A and B are shown apart, each in its own frame.
Chain A
Amino acid sequence: MIDLLGFLPRAIVQGVPLLFGSTGETLTEKSGNLNLGIPGIMYVGGISGVIGAFFYEQATVSAGTFQPLPGVLIPLLCSMAGSLLMGLLYCFLTVTLRANQNVSGLALTTFGVGIGNFFGGSLPRIANSSLPSVILTNTGNAFRTTLSGSSSPSALETLFLSYGFLVYLALAVSLAAAYILRRTRVGLHLRAVGENPNTADAAGINVTRYKYLATCIGSMIAGLGGLYFIMDYSGGIWSNDAFGDRGWLAIALVIFTVWKPDLGVLASFLFGGLYILSVRSSSSMTMATKELYKMIPYVVTIVVLIFTSLRNKREDQPPASLGLAYFREER
């Protein structure tokens, strides 16, 4: 029990980037856009925050004027702006220019990962800074500020209060997304656009606008996953490729949760837990076994994918127009 209480918070912090990513991707996919650029967008979300924080720290830390509030807000806004641009780019290609979604998404991932690693690696040099690499401890600490005040928190306190604000934001965003999709008119319209854009169009719903909005907002949410990973999880230290294939894991999570963001909360912690088992578990486990553990999230996702298609329940299927461009005059 004690072990579990100790384990859960670690699973949660591992799960949060995935939760942001999958919530964003679920919104996007609900509009019929299969955005395979999400891994790239999460990199961009991370690095944009890093760039913002880097310049803020450059300007303030040596002068001793670093303030936690702008120290958090600046990277947050930068991150959202960066992912927004990526989302807009994807929409422009796939919605306005009706390009193939798979190809555009993969190109976006190449581009985004490139941006992340390029600036992550050479930001200090470009900015003529004396730092050897990107280390933003002040910002990291600001992001890591927790609710728990005591220095020796109890297990329960650790479980509920030991996180930076982005963790709670991730929960709030995914629950809000679930609510919007299920209970509001905007959500209803969005589902209609993803299922049958023709019908939505005839009902007076602006298909293009919904696709753009859902994809761009989805991208911004996903980008926060990258930001969280750098600032909170890694404490403000960028190292190239550290983010790994979490972006793809987020896409897996979308399928695993059958396009339900509220399920994503629990599922992301499950995935996070599985990830930990592989990364930092006890020494009794061999390297080889750990690698097998890392396989589990993908295998269970495949199992879910198979299971939902076997059961063939209409509500659990991918949005019917997923991956297809919409052109009104094409019948």
Chain B
Amino acid sequence: MNKKTRSPLFHIAKRSTLPWYRAWAIRGGALILALLVCAGVTALLTGQNALLLYVTMFKGSFGSARKIWVLLQNIAMLLCVSLAVTPAFKMRCWNLGGEGQVLVGGLASVLVMTLLSPYLPNWLLILAMLAASVLVGAVWAGIPAIFKAQWNTNETLFTLMMNYVATQLVAFYIAYRFPKGTGTMGVINGDTRAGWMPYLFGQQYLLNILIVALVTALLYAYLRYSKHGYEIAVVGESERTARYVGIKVKRVIVRTMLLSGAICGLAGFLLVSGTDHSLSTTSAGGRGFTAVMVSWLAKFNPIWMIFTSFLLVFLGKGASEIASQFRLNESFGDILTGIILFFIIGSEFFIQYKIMLTKSAEKEEKAHD
């Protein structure tokens, strides 16, 4: 050993806890840094003043009353899916199947909407759609859950695959109903508006938003204060402890995943009945995946998730506004969203860990020399 090794210059240790304001300061700093990088990238590609970009971004989201409503509706939808996956995540069960659960939920709504609209009064039809969506969404999440509970089948991979089965199911239905079509189904019940959610105060999206707000509050209380919520936390931390205190682990896994799928189903219903009145294979719009990030960034806290879903929707909207203003491709938004996510994801490290310069390294140098 000719080369004398030195102890590393710094040392990484887990932080005990960081006051919440410092944690948010770190996240905020990361966000600002990310926005600067985004501005740089955009300026590079468009040659525009960075400041102008942010004005554009703001306009994209808040430019008109219509835009604000659309923004709120998008936040509500993303929040709804994020809420859905959260109980499973708290249990350390990675439900990456939100996308598929939303789609099958939507499909259930579409089926009820088309098949039963001649027979039911409108309010009953909507309730039937809601029930069908919630049920089918729950079943879609329940299948991997049963295998996870019984045989410990990897739920990350299982739910991921279920997404594509769901996508194909929707594609199949569309192709089956419209064999000569272009792969879209068009607006359902456009003439009768049967199964369409009513407008509150003349606002199409208001009811949607209120429903999601209600779900947020309920889920917060459920996770934080209910016995079920406590069981979820214990199972997530240690299955052995859960078994030791008599928690039926398998039942909790299945129950929580059913809840997760049910809320996804609800999101599917809101999409079909509240906004789109139609369904396509891309209706979920990647929300099942974005929700994973929303939930994780908010540390699985439903209230903070309002903020993180706002952030992601706002950024997405702003980025596509930039794209269209500067005649860039629509996908430009995804790039900016990606960059911002990387920064926020990376910043968690500085909240969880601290980096300490090794003092003894210096001391040793002296000792050895």
Q: Which residues of A contact B (CB under 8 A)?
A: 34, 36, 89, 92-93, 97-100, 102-104, 106-118, 121-122, 125-126, 240, 245, 248-249, 251-252, 255, 286-288, 290-292, 294-295, 298-299, 301-302, 305-306, 309-310, 312, 318, 323, 327, 329-330
In the bound complex, do residue A294 and residue B349 qualify as a contact, i.e. CB atoms below 8 Å apart?
no
A121 touches B158 (CB 8 A): no
What is the CA–CA distance of A249 and B337 in the complex, to the nearest angstrom? 24
Does the CB pair A298–B334 fall under 8 Å?
A: no
Q: What residue of chain B has the Cβ atom nearest to residue A122's Cβ? A: B329
Q: Which residues of B contact A93 (CB under 8 A)?
A: 342, 345-346
**Complex contacts, A240 vs chain B, CB 8 Å:** 331
Query: For residues 152 through 170 of chain B, which have their beta carbon under 8 Å from a beta carbon of chain A?
Result: 152-154, 156-158, 160-165, 167-169
- Interface size bucket, B side? 35 or more
Instruction: For A111, give its contact among B45, B335, B348 (CB under 8 Å).
Output: B335
CB neighbors of A among B1-38 (8 A) = 12-14
Set of chain A residues within 8 Å of B348, measured between Cβ atoms: 97, 99
Contact between B154 and A98, CB atoms less than 8 A apart: no
**A/B interface sample: 27 pairs, CB < 8 A:** A89-B342, A93-B346, A98-B349, A99-B346, A99-B349, A102-B94, A102-B96, A107-B342, A111-B334, A111-B338, A114-B333, A118-B332, A125-B327, A240-B331, A248-B160, A249-B164, A255-B157, A286-B176, A287-B179, A288-B172, A291-B175, A292-B168, A298-B168, A302-B158, A302-B165, A305-B154, A330-B14
Q: Which residue of A lies closest to B14 (CB)?
A: A330
Determine the distance from Cα of A34 to Cα of B96 in the docked complex, in whole angstroms: 13
Q: Residues of A contacting B338 with CB < 8 Å?
A: 107-108, 110-112, 114-115
Known A93-B345, A99-B349, A122-B328; contact A291-B168, beta-carbon cutoff 8 A: yes
Contact of B353 among A36, A98, A117, A306 (CB under 8 A): A98
User: For the complex, would chain B's binding face be called helix, strand, loop or mixed by DSSP majority?
Assistant: helix
User: B14 touching A301 by the CB < 8 A rule?
Assistant: no
Interchain CA distance A121-B335 in the complex, whole Å: 14
| Residues in chain B near residue A34, CB distance under 8 A | 156
Min distance, Cβ B353 to any Cβ of chain A, angstroms: 7
Are B335 and A97 in contact (CB-based, < 8 A)?
A: no
Bound Cα distance from A295 to B45, whole angstroms: 40
B289 interfacial by beta-carbon distance below 8 Å: yes
Check B161–A306 contact: CB distance below 8 A.
Answer: no
Residues of A within 8 A of B175 (CB): 286-288, 290-291
Residues of A within 8 A of B331 (CB): 113-118, 121, 240
Do A118 and B346 contact each other (CB < 8 Å), given the known contacts A98-B352, A106-B293?
no
Beta-carbon contact of A103 and B352 below 8 Å: no
Point out the residues of chain A lying under 8 angstroms from B160, CB to CB. Answer: 36, 248, 251
Query: Does the CB pair B162–A302 fall under 8 Å?
Result: yes
Contacts of B172 in A (CB 8 A): 288, 291-292, 295
Please tell me if the beta carbons of A305 and B153 are within 8 angstroms of each other in the complex.
yes
Point out the residue from B14, B165, B345 that lies within 8 Å of A298, measured CB to CB: B165
Are A110 and B341 closer than 8 Å at their CB atoms? yes
Q: Is B307 an interface residue (CB 8 A)?
A: no
**Distance from B171 Cβ to chain A, minimum over Cβ atoms (Å):** 4
State whether A295 touches B156 (Cβ < 8 A): no
**CB under 8 Å from chain A, chain B span 318-369:** 327-335, 337-339, 341-342, 345-346, 348-349, 352-353
Expressed in whole angstroms, the minimum distance between the Cβ of A95 and any Cβ of chain B is: 11
